[in-house]
Structure 1
Amino acid sequence: MSAFELDPRLARDTELVESFGLCQLRMMKDSRWPWFMLVPQRNDVSELFELTPLDQALLTFETNMVAAALKKATGAEKINVAAIGNIVRQLHVHIVARFDRDPNWPGPIWGYGQAEPYEDTAKQLLIKSLTENLVS
């Protein structure tokens, strides 16, 4: 079994927060939305159905865990969950907190405007709040 390889575009656009049983939890380098993603640590997988049944169950569990923690951490009105992968084919699941006052509400976030980097303190506070809510 070869070591897991993260797509270079995901590596460039995200930061590792932590690793779970199946996925890496990564934070998008864009402060416009509280935006995380889960990347199953499986090479050569681009579709959900290509995962084993056990990995599919783990991905569902980890997605729901992060989505619930993000909602609790941010008080978001809506949590968007999507696995699109038209550009970056490596399977990854976006988990985004949305508010009616956020940029491009209620439209999609993909391809909208330019990413805005986080201030380090704001980034660390969001990560801390999310990870604290993962365990509760």
Structure 2
Amino acid sequence: MPRAAPDYIVIFDGGSRGNPGPGYGSYRLHTRDGREDVRRLEFGEAMTNNEAEYRTLIAALDDLIGRIEQTGKDPSAFTVEVRGDSRLILTQLRGEFRVRAAHLRPLWEAARARLSRFREARLVWQPRKASVKDLGH
């Protein structure tokens, strides 16, 4: 039986200019009814690519949760599909890989806490080429 389409899709990507270096990211929010929004982020501080990936995802989920709550609804009524090209971040969030780097653990915990607010959160890896097409970088 095929899965129902998610209520929301979040596509995220983050990186740093240097590694570590100034962090940046972008994300795209899609709704089931076809609305979408792209946001670009500059973190303004030195961080690793993985830190920027997590911080971008957290910002995207905060944005989505805020939008849902502004309508008087609870995120637990909705499904979200998160797409990204970072295998490390997605496998850590699925619990398939441990978070060994101490500086990533708080970010992992923050992302997991936000994902747990939804009825269902699907984590989907996509090729880098798809992220570039979706986000423009």
Fold in common (TM above 0.5): no
TM-score (norm 1): 0.31
TM-score (norm 2): 0.31
User: As a proportion of its length, which structure holds more strand?
Assistant: 2
